[in-house]
Structure 1
Amino acid sequence: MPVPFESRTALEVARVLGNSEIAGRALDTPAQLDVLLAPWPYSGRRDHDAAEARAVAGLRHQLITLWDAERDATADLANAILVTHGTAPQLVRHDGTDWHLHAVAPDQPLAARIAVETAMAFVDLVRAGETDRCRRCADQTCLHLFFDESRNRSRRFCSTQCQARVNVAAYRARRT
Protein backbone atom coordinates (compact mmCIF):
# COMPACT_ATOMS: atom_id res chain seq x y z
CA MET A 1 0.00 0.00 0.00
CA PRO A 2 1.53 3.33 -0.99
CA VAL A 3 1.43 5.67 2.01
CA PRO A 4 1.80 9.43 1.41
CA PHE A 5 5.01 10.99 2.69
CA GLU A 6 3.36 12.98 5.47
CA SER A 7 1.34 9.97 6.64
CA ARG A 8 4.42 7.74 6.64
CA THR A 9 6.29 10.34 8.71
CA ALA A 10 3.42 10.70 11.16
CA LEU A 11 3.12 6.91 11.54
CA GLU A 12 6.87 6.60 12.14
CA VAL A 13 6.77 9.31 14.81
CA ALA A 14 3.74 7.65 16.45
CA ARG A 15 5.55 4.29 16.36
CA VAL A 16 8.73 5.71 17.89
CA LEU A 17 6.83 7.63 20.57
CA GLY A 18 4.67 4.60 21.38
CA ASN A 19 7.69 2.31 21.56
CA SER A 20 9.45 4.75 23.89
CA GLU A 21 6.46 4.47 26.23
CA ILE A 22 6.39 0.66 25.95
CA ALA A 23 10.12 0.54 26.71
CA GLY A 24 9.64 2.84 29.72
CA ARG A 25 11.94 5.52 28.33
CA ALA A 26 11.67 8.92 29.94
CA LEU A 27 10.74 11.90 27.82
CA ASP A 28 11.09 14.74 30.31
CA THR A 29 13.67 17.01 28.74
CA PRO A 30 13.97 18.89 25.46
CA ALA A 31 17.20 16.98 24.76
CA GLN A 32 15.43 13.61 25.07
CA LEU A 33 12.68 14.84 22.74
CA ASP A 34 15.22 16.19 20.24
CA VAL A 35 17.06 12.85 20.13
CA LEU A 36 13.81 10.94 19.63
CA LEU A 37 12.54 13.22 16.85
CA ALA A 38 15.91 13.84 15.13
CA PRO A 39 15.12 11.68 12.06
CA TRP A 40 11.82 13.54 11.53
CA PRO A 41 12.33 17.28 11.86
CA TYR A 42 9.06 19.12 12.37
CA SER A 43 8.51 22.42 10.65
CA GLY A 44 6.84 25.16 12.62
CA ARG A 45 6.93 26.08 16.25
CA ARG A 46 9.32 24.35 18.66
CA ASP A 47 9.58 25.66 22.22
CA HIS A 48 12.47 23.36 23.24
CA ASP A 49 11.41 23.37 26.88
CA ALA A 50 10.40 20.80 29.48
CA ALA A 51 6.71 21.64 29.07
CA GLU A 52 6.87 20.73 25.37
CA ALA A 53 8.65 17.45 26.16
CA ARG A 54 6.05 16.58 28.80
CA ALA A 55 3.19 17.45 26.43
CA VAL A 56 4.60 15.14 23.75
CA ALA A 57 5.24 12.43 26.35
CA GLY A 58 1.61 12.82 27.42
CA LEU A 59 0.51 11.89 23.89
CA ARG A 60 2.21 8.52 23.92
CA HIS A 61 -0.62 6.54 25.52
CA GLN A 62 -3.16 8.13 23.16
CA LEU A 63 -0.99 7.22 20.16
CA ILE A 64 -0.66 3.61 21.34
CA THR A 65 -4.43 3.41 21.81
CA LEU A 66 -4.91 4.73 18.27
CA TRP A 67 -2.34 2.22 16.95
CA ASP A 68 -4.00 -0.74 18.68
CA ALA A 69 -7.62 0.17 17.89
CA GLU A 70 -9.89 -1.69 15.50
CA ARG A 71 -10.87 0.18 12.33
CA ASP A 72 -14.16 1.70 13.57
CA ALA A 73 -12.62 2.71 16.89
CA THR A 74 -9.67 4.20 15.01
CA ALA A 75 -12.05 6.44 13.06
CA ASP A 76 -13.70 7.61 16.29
CA LEU A 77 -10.36 8.28 18.00
CA ALA A 78 -8.94 10.13 14.98
CA ASN A 79 -12.09 12.26 14.72
CA ALA A 80 -11.88 13.12 18.41
CA ILE A 81 -8.29 14.31 18.00
CA LEU A 82 -9.17 16.39 14.94
CA VAL A 83 -12.13 18.02 16.71
CA THR A 84 -10.09 18.69 19.86
CA HIS A 85 -7.47 20.58 17.88
CA GLY A 86 -9.84 22.38 15.48
CA THR A 87 -8.09 21.29 12.32
CA ALA A 88 -7.97 23.26 9.07
CA PRO A 89 -6.27 21.08 6.42
CA GLN A 90 -3.99 22.92 4.00
CA LEU A 91 -1.71 21.83 1.16
CA VAL A 92 1.81 23.11 1.84
CA ARG A 93 5.34 22.91 0.45
CA HIS A 94 8.38 23.47 2.63
CA ASP A 95 11.95 22.35 3.27
CA GLY A 96 12.29 20.81 -0.19
CA THR A 97 9.20 18.63 0.20
CA ASP A 98 6.57 18.83 -2.54
CA TRP A 99 2.88 19.50 -1.86
CA HIS A 100 1.55 17.62 1.11
CA LEU A 101 -1.17 18.02 3.68
CA HIS A 102 -0.86 19.79 7.02
CA ALA A 103 -3.98 19.85 9.12
CA VAL A 104 -2.81 22.16 11.87
CA ALA A 105 -1.13 25.57 11.82
CA PRO A 106 2.66 25.64 12.20
CA ASP A 107 2.40 27.97 15.21
CA GLN A 108 0.51 25.35 17.24
CA PRO A 109 2.41 23.46 19.95
CA LEU A 110 4.46 20.46 18.82
CA ALA A 111 2.26 18.01 20.76
CA ALA A 112 -0.85 19.28 18.95
CA ARG A 113 0.87 19.00 15.57
CA ILE A 114 2.01 15.44 16.30
CA ALA A 115 -1.47 14.44 17.49
CA VAL A 116 -3.23 15.93 14.48
CA GLU A 117 -0.75 14.64 11.91
CA THR A 118 -1.00 11.16 13.40
CA ALA A 119 -4.79 11.36 13.33
CA MET A 120 -4.65 12.40 9.66
CA ALA A 121 -2.37 9.45 8.89
CA PHE A 122 -4.87 7.13 10.52
CA VAL A 123 -7.67 8.78 8.52
CA ASP A 124 -5.77 7.67 5.40
CA LEU A 125 -5.46 4.14 6.78
CA VAL A 126 -9.15 3.94 7.74
CA ARG A 127 -10.22 5.15 4.30
CA ALA A 128 -7.94 2.60 2.61
CA GLY A 129 -9.06 -0.22 4.94
CA GLU A 130 -5.44 -0.68 6.04
CA THR A 131 -5.53 -0.09 9.81
CA ASP A 132 -4.67 -3.74 10.41
CA ARG A 133 -1.16 -3.00 9.13
CA CYS A 134 -0.48 -1.23 12.45
CA ARG A 135 0.69 -4.10 14.60
CA ARG A 136 2.48 -5.21 17.72
CA CYS A 137 5.54 -7.44 17.64
CA ALA A 138 4.66 -11.13 18.04
CA ASP A 139 7.59 -11.55 20.44
CA GLN A 140 5.82 -11.50 23.80
CA THR A 141 8.94 -10.07 25.47
CA CYS A 142 8.89 -7.07 23.11
CA LEU A 143 5.39 -6.01 21.95
CA HIS A 144 6.78 -2.94 20.13
CA LEU A 145 4.70 -1.22 17.47
CA PHE A 146 5.47 -1.57 13.76
CA PHE A 147 3.81 -0.89 10.42
CA ASP A 148 3.52 -3.94 8.15
CA GLU A 149 4.32 -2.89 4.59
CA SER A 150 4.60 -6.42 3.22
CA ARG A 151 2.44 -7.23 0.20
CA ASN A 152 0.71 -10.15 1.84
CA ARG A 153 0.42 -8.59 5.31
CA SER A 154 2.51 -11.37 6.80
CA ARG A 155 5.04 -9.48 8.91
CA ARG A 156 4.79 -10.51 12.57
CA PHE A 157 7.87 -9.02 14.22
CA CYS A 158 9.19 -5.50 14.65
CA SER A 159 12.74 -6.56 13.82
CA THR A 160 14.83 -9.49 12.66
CA GLN A 161 16.26 -9.71 16.20
CA CYS A 162 12.83 -10.42 17.66
CA GLN A 163 12.06 -12.90 14.89
CA ALA A 164 15.35 -14.72 15.50
CA ARG A 165 14.80 -14.76 19.28
CA VAL A 166 11.36 -16.38 18.86
CA ASN A 167 12.60 -18.86 16.25
CA VAL A 168 15.57 -19.93 18.41
CA ALA A 169 13.29 -20.36 21.44
CA ALA A 170 10.88 -22.49 19.37
CA TYR A 171 13.77 -24.59 18.05
CA ARG A 172 15.12 -25.16 21.56
CA ALA A 173 11.65 -26.06 22.81
CA ARG A 174 11.29 -28.68 20.07
CA ARG A 175 14.72 -30.13 20.87
CA THR A 176 13.88 -30.81 24.52
Structure 2
Amino acid sequence: MLFAHDTEVALVATAAMINADLSDVAALDAFLDPWGWTGARAHDDAELAAVQAACVRMREFWNADEDAAVELANALLREGGALPQLLRHDGWDYHLHATPPDASLDVRMTVETAMAMIDVIRLQQLDRLRICAADDCDAVLVDLSKNRSRRFCEGGCGNRGNVAAYRARRAARQPG
Protein backbone atom coordinates (compact mmCIF):
# COMPACT_ATOMS: atom_id res chain seq x y z
CA MET A 1 0.00 0.00 0.00
CA LEU A 2 1.48 3.29 -1.10
CA PHE A 3 -0.68 5.55 1.08
CA ALA A 4 -2.63 5.04 4.30
CA HIS A 5 -6.00 3.39 3.69
CA ASP A 6 -8.01 6.54 4.39
CA THR A 7 -5.79 8.54 2.04
CA GLU A 8 -6.32 6.04 -0.78
CA VAL A 9 -10.08 6.04 -0.19
CA ALA A 10 -10.16 9.86 -0.18
CA LEU A 11 -8.14 10.04 -3.41
CA VAL A 12 -10.26 7.48 -5.24
CA ALA A 13 -13.50 9.00 -3.90
CA THR A 14 -12.39 12.46 -5.00
CA ALA A 15 -11.59 11.24 -8.51
CA ALA A 16 -14.93 9.42 -8.67
CA MET A 17 -16.75 12.52 -7.46
CA ILE A 18 -15.04 14.75 -10.01
CA ASN A 19 -15.98 12.30 -12.77
CA ALA A 20 -19.55 11.74 -11.54
CA ASP A 21 -22.61 13.31 -13.12
CA LEU A 22 -23.86 15.21 -10.08
CA SER A 23 -26.69 16.93 -11.93
CA ASP A 24 -29.27 16.88 -9.14
CA VAL A 25 -29.65 16.13 -5.43
CA ALA A 26 -30.75 12.55 -6.14
CA ALA A 27 -27.56 11.95 -8.16
CA LEU A 28 -25.48 13.36 -5.29
CA ASP A 29 -27.28 11.10 -2.80
CA ALA A 30 -26.76 8.07 -5.05
CA PHE A 31 -23.07 8.94 -5.41
CA LEU A 32 -22.52 9.40 -1.67
CA ASP A 33 -24.26 6.25 -0.43
CA PRO A 34 -21.59 3.68 -1.41
CA TRP A 35 -18.74 5.93 -0.22
CA GLY A 36 -20.04 6.13 3.36
CA TRP A 37 -19.77 9.89 3.85
CA THR A 38 -20.65 10.76 7.43
CA GLY A 39 -21.79 14.00 9.00
CA ALA A 40 -24.45 16.60 8.33
CA ARG A 41 -26.38 16.69 5.06
CA ALA A 42 -28.76 19.36 3.80
CA HIS A 43 -30.09 17.34 0.80
CA ASP A 44 -30.88 20.55 -1.11
CA ASP A 45 -29.86 22.46 -4.23
CA ALA A 46 -27.53 24.76 -2.28
CA GLU A 47 -25.57 21.77 -1.01
CA LEU A 48 -25.46 20.33 -4.54
CA ALA A 49 -24.15 23.62 -5.96
CA ALA A 50 -21.49 23.81 -3.24
CA VAL A 51 -20.35 20.23 -3.97
CA GLN A 52 -20.27 20.94 -7.72
CA ALA A 53 -18.10 24.01 -7.07
CA ALA A 54 -15.88 21.95 -4.75
CA CYS A 55 -15.39 19.39 -7.54
CA VAL A 56 -14.15 22.14 -9.86
CA ARG A 57 -11.61 23.26 -7.26
CA MET A 58 -10.48 19.73 -6.38
CA ARG A 59 -9.95 18.93 -10.06
CA GLU A 60 -7.20 21.56 -10.01
CA PHE A 61 -4.98 19.07 -8.17
CA TRP A 62 -4.84 16.93 -11.33
CA ASN A 63 -3.21 19.76 -13.30
CA ALA A 64 -1.12 21.27 -10.52
CA ASP A 65 2.61 21.23 -10.08
CA GLU A 66 3.92 20.74 -6.56
CA ASP A 67 3.85 24.40 -5.54
CA ALA A 68 0.34 24.93 -6.89
CA ALA A 69 -0.86 21.73 -5.17
CA VAL A 70 0.60 22.90 -1.86
CA GLU A 71 -1.06 26.29 -2.26
CA LEU A 72 -4.43 24.70 -3.07
CA ALA A 73 -4.22 22.17 -0.23
CA ASN A 74 -3.33 24.89 2.26
CA ALA A 75 -6.15 27.12 1.01
CA LEU A 76 -8.71 24.32 1.32
CA LEU A 77 -7.51 23.48 4.82
CA ARG A 78 -7.63 27.14 5.92
CA GLU A 79 -11.05 27.76 4.38
CA GLY A 80 -12.40 24.59 5.97
CA GLY A 81 -11.05 25.47 9.43
CA ALA A 82 -9.25 22.13 9.49
CA LEU A 83 -8.30 20.74 12.87
CA PRO A 84 -7.00 17.21 12.24
CA GLN A 85 -7.95 14.53 14.75
CA LEU A 86 -7.75 10.77 14.86
CA LEU A 87 -11.15 9.09 15.08
CA ARG A 88 -12.50 5.56 14.92
CA HIS A 89 -16.07 4.86 13.77
CA ASP A 90 -18.32 2.76 11.54
CA GLY A 91 -15.91 -0.17 11.35
CA TRP A 92 -12.93 1.98 10.41
CA ASP A 93 -9.85 1.89 12.62
CA TYR A 94 -8.18 5.18 13.53
CA HIS A 95 -8.11 7.63 10.65
CA LEU A 96 -7.99 11.39 10.22
CA HIS A 97 -10.94 13.73 10.31
CA ALA A 98 -10.20 17.41 10.08
CA THR A 99 -13.68 18.91 10.31
CA PRO A 100 -16.51 18.52 12.79
CA PRO A 101 -19.44 16.31 11.75
CA ASP A 102 -21.69 19.37 11.39
CA ALA A 103 -19.44 21.02 8.77
CA SER A 104 -21.12 21.33 5.39
CA LEU A 105 -20.65 18.45 2.97
CA ASP A 106 -18.56 20.47 0.51
CA VAL A 107 -16.21 21.59 3.31
CA ARG A 108 -15.82 18.02 4.58
CA MET A 109 -15.08 16.86 1.04
CA THR A 110 -12.54 19.56 0.20
CA VAL A 111 -10.75 19.25 3.54
CA GLU A 112 -10.59 15.46 3.28
CA THR A 113 -9.19 15.80 -0.24
CA ALA A 114 -6.65 18.37 0.95
CA MET A 115 -5.58 16.06 3.78
CA ALA A 116 -5.07 13.23 1.29
CA MET A 117 -3.13 15.54 -1.01
CA ILE A 118 -0.76 16.36 1.83
CA ASP A 119 0.36 12.72 1.77
CA VAL A 120 0.60 12.75 -2.03
CA ILE A 121 2.73 15.89 -1.98
CA ARG A 122 4.96 14.82 0.92
CA LEU A 123 5.66 11.48 -0.77
CA GLN A 124 6.27 13.27 -4.10
CA GLN A 125 3.58 11.24 -5.83
CA LEU A 126 1.67 13.94 -7.72
CA ASP A 127 2.40 12.05 -10.94
CA ARG A 128 -0.11 9.43 -9.76
CA LEU A 129 -2.90 11.95 -10.40
CA ARG A 130 -3.70 11.61 -14.09
CA ILE A 131 -6.16 12.51 -16.78
CA CYS A 132 -7.51 9.56 -18.79
CA ALA A 133 -5.26 8.83 -21.80
CA ALA A 134 -8.20 8.35 -24.17
CA ASP A 135 -8.38 11.14 -26.73
CA ASP A 136 -12.09 11.69 -26.14
CA CYS A 137 -12.09 11.57 -22.33
CA ASP A 138 -11.07 14.09 -19.69
CA ALA A 139 -11.91 11.99 -16.61
CA VAL A 140 -9.41 12.04 -13.75
CA LEU A 141 -7.88 8.97 -12.14
CA VAL A 142 -5.51 8.00 -9.36
CA ASP A 143 -2.85 5.48 -10.34
CA LEU A 144 -2.37 3.28 -7.29
CA SER A 145 -0.67 0.49 -9.27
CA LYS A 146 2.78 -0.63 -8.17
CA ASN A 147 4.31 -0.08 -11.58
CA ARG A 148 2.59 3.26 -12.27
CA SER A 149 0.96 1.88 -15.40
CA ARG A 150 -2.67 2.96 -15.10
CA ARG A 151 -3.55 5.24 -18.00
CA PHE A 152 -7.30 5.02 -18.42
CA CYS A 153 -10.35 5.84 -16.29
CA GLU A 154 -12.91 3.27 -15.26
CA GLY A 155 -15.36 4.40 -17.93
CA GLY A 156 -14.31 1.74 -20.42
CA CYS A 157 -11.75 3.92 -22.19
CA GLY A 158 -8.97 1.35 -21.80
CA ASN A 159 -11.08 -1.36 -23.35
CA ARG A 160 -12.16 0.87 -26.24
CA GLY A 161 -8.52 1.85 -26.81
CA ASN A 162 -7.38 -1.76 -26.79
CA VAL A 163 -10.10 -2.80 -29.26
CA ALA A 164 -9.23 0.11 -31.59
CA ALA A 165 -5.53 -0.77 -31.45
CA TYR A 166 -6.31 -4.44 -32.16
CA ARG A 167 -8.47 -3.52 -35.14
CA ALA A 168 -5.79 -1.18 -36.48
CA ARG A 169 -3.13 -3.89 -36.20
CA ARG A 170 -5.41 -6.40 -37.85
CA ALA A 171 -6.27 -4.04 -40.70
CA ALA A 172 -2.57 -3.26 -41.24
CA ARG A 173 -1.79 -6.99 -41.61
CA GLN A 174 -4.49 -7.69 -44.17
CA PRO A 175 -3.52 -7.24 -47.81
CA GLY A 176 -5.22 -4.26 -49.38
1:13 is displaced (CA, Å) by 2.2
TM normalised by structure 1 equals 0.88
- The alpha carbon displacement at 1:117 in A equals 0.2
Structure 1 Cα separation of the partners of residues 159 and 38 of structure 2: 38
Alignment of 1:33 onto 2:17: no
Structure with max Cα Rg: 2
| Structure-2 residue corresponding to 1:10 | 10
**RMSD of Structure 2 on Structure 1 (CA):** 1.8
Please give the TM-score of this superposition, normalised by the length of structure 2.
0.88
Identity rate of aligned residues, in percent?
A: 46
Deviation of 1:32 (Å): 1.5
Give the match's secondary structure for 2:96. Answer: strand
Per mean C-alpha deviation after superposition, the further-off stretch among 164-173 and 38-47 is 164-173
1:72 is displaced (CA, Å) by 2.2
User: In terms of mean alpha carbon deviation, does 165-174 or 68-77 score higher?
Assistant: 165-174
Do the aligned residues in 2 keep the contact of 1:28 with 1:54 (CA within 8 Å)?
no
Contact 1:13–1:37 (CA under 8 A) maintained in structure 2: no
Whether 1:172 and 2:153 are equivalent positions in the alignment is no
Q: Tell whether the 8 Å contact from 1:103 to 1:116 is kept in structure 2 after alignment.
A: yes
Could you tell me how far 1:33 is from its partner in structure 2? 0.9
2:60 is the alignment partner of 1:65: yes
Contact preservation (8 Å) 1:78, 1:120: yes
Matches within 5 A, 1:37-116: 37-116=32-111
Contact 1:6-1:100 at 8 Å conserved across structures: yes
Please give the alpha-carbon distance, in whole angstroms, between the structure 1 residues aligned to 2:71 and 2:112. Answer: 15
1:15-47 deviation line (CA, Å, top 9, x unaligned): 112112xxxx34332x21110111112222112
- After superposition, the C-alpha distances for 1:148-174 in whole angstroms (9 at most, x for unaligned) are 111121221124832231233234344
Q: Which runs of 5+ in 2 are unaligned?
A: none
Asked if the contact 2:22/2:28 (under 8 Å) is kept, the reply is no
Alignment correspondent of 2:156: 161
User: Which SS does the other structure have where 2:145 is aligned?
Assistant: coil
Distance 1:160 1:18, change over 3 A: closer
Aligned residues: 171
Moved more, 116-125 or 99-108: 99-108
Shift of 1:115: 0.4
Runs of 4+ in 1 over 2 A off after TM superposition: 25-28, 167-176
Code of the aligned partner of 1:132: D
Deviates more, 1:1-10 or 1:44-53: 1-10
Q: Name 1:150's counterpart in structure 2.
A: 145
Post-superposition shift, 1:62? 0.7
C-alpha contact 1:28 1:57 (8 A) present in aligned 2: no
- Maintained 8 Å contact 1:104/1:113: yes
